[in-house]
Structures are given as C-alpha cells and as structure tokens.
A and B are shown apart, each in its own frame.
Chain A
C-alpha cells in the first residue's frame, strides 16, 4: 500500500523543497519506488533542485486535464533507479488543481506500484497547499527555530488535524516535525530556540534536525539533492531522518556545538 507524505510548513523559505528532494531521494536509495510531486503551481522549483528542469515536457496540470498521460509526464531521476518526478506547471495557476484530478493522479501512481508519494507543498495555506496535504497519510512539517516559522507550523498542524481527508474520516494524519537550519552554537548562546523548545510548543514527534550547513546551497546550486553529499552534516541528518521515517531507531546527531570557545573550556571543566 502506497504512503502519501506531504512536506509542508506554512511559511515559505524554510526548506520544504530541499527536504522533499532529500527525503524522496533517500527513500529511493533505500530501494523504495518513490514519486515526488511539485504542488507549487506557477512557481515550480523542485525540477531545479532535482536537476531535471530541462527535461520537463508535460506537467502535473497537463495530467489532471488529461492533456498528457502520467507516464509521459513522470521524469525518471538520473541518479536513482526508483525515483520519479512529477513537475508543477509553470504557466497555470493553483486553481488548476482539482480534488478529483489530484486524487486520480495519486490513485494512478499507487496502481503503478509506487510505495511512497511525496507531495511538495507550496508555502501558505491556500488552495495549492490544501491540495498537497488533503490526501496525506503522513506529514512532514518543516520548521526553522524561529518565531514566525513555528507559529505557521502550528497553523498547518491545526489544518492537518481538521481539514485533511483523514480528519474528515475521523482518523489522524501521522505528523513528523523536521527542524531545519539549526545552529547549535546559537542555541547554546541562548540566541535560538532549541529542539526541545520547538518540540514542546508544537507537541509533535521529532523526525530530524538538519543543521545549518553550507552543503545545502552547494547542493541546490548543482541540482543534486543534499542527501547525496554523504560527507556533509545536512546529508547525514537527512539520511537519519529517512531511516526514522522507515521506522528505524536512530539517535539524533549534530544537536550540540562541536567546538567550545576558550572561555567555555575554562569554565566548563567541572560541568
């Protein structure tokens, strides 16, 4: 049975597309047949992050409007055997996504034997974001340790609990919290919300913490999902998150600062 996982956040720029690309790649690398759908109609970017922008012929809206078949629109990832990308339309607007159309595409993907379907949500809480989360079995809520992002994440969690199909059926979407751009040094200095703080406020189970890492920009520059950079902290943290998503028990890494300053060394001897 295929699992539909939405990657959402409310706020923009927190790392939804980076996360979608890393998670879908991670699942495919672990041998699961995975599809990733860009729901950001009019502002597609997943294709750039996945480095398939020049291979887009048909898109999600074409499939919904039956102007192309799903097989024609799906782009096979160059690096992973089991990974397929369904790009968003660049020219239409979000209203092109109908509930019936989205459901039909998701069902067709299930029939094709996909085990995981990752829905990359647009920012905001409008129609596109709603369509991305409506059919979800699970949700990865991406948040930065920063007030506006945490507040928006709480809004999205509320919507998942009240407006999703699962909620309508009296069930619950399984929610995961993924904190990105985490800077343990700033947390130690009391300048940034810590993991425990964000977890406590949102009361959601932690899937992973992605540290602020130069590898993320390097990866997007090249169109290589950061999880392929197995040497980088962000890459490792995403690989851990994928393992947890698959039910494995993996300890969280990169939560504490690595290097201590001279003063901290001096005063922390007994601590």
Chain B
C-alpha cells in the first residue's frame, strides 16, 4: 500500500517512470528495426527520392515496414502527405 508521503513525493519527482516509458518506446522501435532486412533503409530512401520529385515531404513522413505473417510477408508503405498539397513541382505546373 502506498503511503501518503509516497503519494505526494511520487507525483512531484518520479523521473523513473518517465525513464521507463521512454525506454519501452525506444526499445520496441529498435527491436522492430533490427529485425528488418538491411535493404529496407535504402528502399525507404529511394522511395522518398521519387516522391520528392512530385511532392515536398521530409524523410520522417515515410515509413516502410516489413511484417512476417507465417508463410508470407507484407511490405507496408506509409506516406504522410502535407495537409495542404502544394502545387506539383513537375508535370502540370503552369
């Protein structure tokens, strides 16, 4: 049972729980990344180059993930486009 003193002191300076949360996030992220093949980073970069030709995006807005489901794998590509699409860089610009 948590004592009254603990209750107040914990609220104010429980940095350990912050550490735990941060670690859980980063460790889960890195475990996913380490399981993925090396070419995925290069693939992500190439896809970004292609999309950049048409839309202004930065590297963080692309997520490439490879998931294994038994005997097949799914390559998931997630591109976050800017809220308001700027005029296309090439193609039908006037």
**A and B: bona fide binding partners:** yes
Interface residues of A in 200-235 (CB under 8 A from B): 201-202
Asked, given contacts A267-B3, A270-B1, A271-B2, whether A197 binds B16 with beta carbons under 8 Å apart, the answer is yes
Q: Is B42 an interface residue (CB 8 A)?
A: no
- Contact among B3, B13, B16 for A271, CB-based, below 8 A: B3
Cross-chain contact B23 with A190 (CB below 8 angstroms): no
Cross-chain contact B5 with A190 (CB below 8 angstroms): no
Q: Is B74 an interface residue (CB 8 A)?
A: no
Asked, given contacts A264-B3, A270-B1, whether A150 binds B16 with beta carbons under 8 Å apart, the answer is no
Known: A147-B23, A190-B10, A202-B27. 10 other contacts (CB 8 A): A155-B34, A158-B34, A189-B9, A190-B17, A193-B16, A193-B19, A264-B3, A264-B5, A267-B4, A270-B3
Cross-chain contact B20 with A193 (CB below 8 angstroms): yes
Chain A residues with Cβ below 8 Å from B1 are 270-271
CA distance A245 to B76 in the complex (A): 43
Range, interface on chain A: 20 to 34
Interface residues of chain A: helix, strand, loop or mixed (majority): helix
CA distance A189 to B14 in the complex (A): 7
CA distance A189 to B15 in the complex (A): 9
CA distance A194 to B23 in the complex (A): 13
CA distance A267 to B13 in the complex (A): 18
Q: Is B30 an interface residue (CB 8 A)?
A: yes
Cross-chain contact A201 with B23 (CB below 8 angstroms): yes
CA distance A197 to B22 in the complex (A): 12
Report 19 cross-chain contacts, Cβ distance below 8 Å, ordered by A residue.
Answer: A147-B19, A151-B26, A151-B27, A154-B27, A155-B34, A158-B34, A162-B34, A189-B9, A190-B9, A190-B10, A190-B13, A190-B14, A190-B15, A191-B16, A192-B16, A197-B16, A201-B23, A263-B5, A268-B5
CA distance A232 to B14 in the complex (A): 29
Q: Is B31 an interface residue (CB 8 A)?
A: yes
Chain A residues with Cβ below 8 Å from B24 are 201
Q: How many A-B residue pairs have CB under 8 A?
A: 62
CA distance A147 to B20 in the complex (A): 8
Asked, given contacts A150-B23, A151-B27, A201-B27, whether A187 binds B16 with beta carbons under 8 Å apart, the answer is yes
Asked, given contacts A147-B19, A151-B26, whether A191 binds B5 with beta carbons under 8 Å apart, the answer is no
Q: Is A246 an interface residue (CB 8 A)?
A: no
Chain A residues with Cβ below 8 Å from B27 are 150-151, 154, 201-202
CA distance A63 to B23 in the complex (A): 42
Chain A residues with Cβ below 8 Å from B9 are 189-190
Cross-chain contact A191 with B3 (CB below 8 angstroms): no
Q: Is A1 an interface residue (CB 8 A)?
A: no
Chain B residues with Cβ below 8 Å from A187 are 16
CA distance A189 to B31 in the complex (A): 30
CB distance from B6 to the nearest CB of A (A): 8
CA distance A30 to B1 in the complex (A): 41
Would you list the 9 A-B pairs with minimal beta carbon distance, nearest first?
Answer: A190-B14, A267-B5, A267-B3, A268-B3, A271-B1, A197-B20, A267-B4, A154-B27, A271-B3
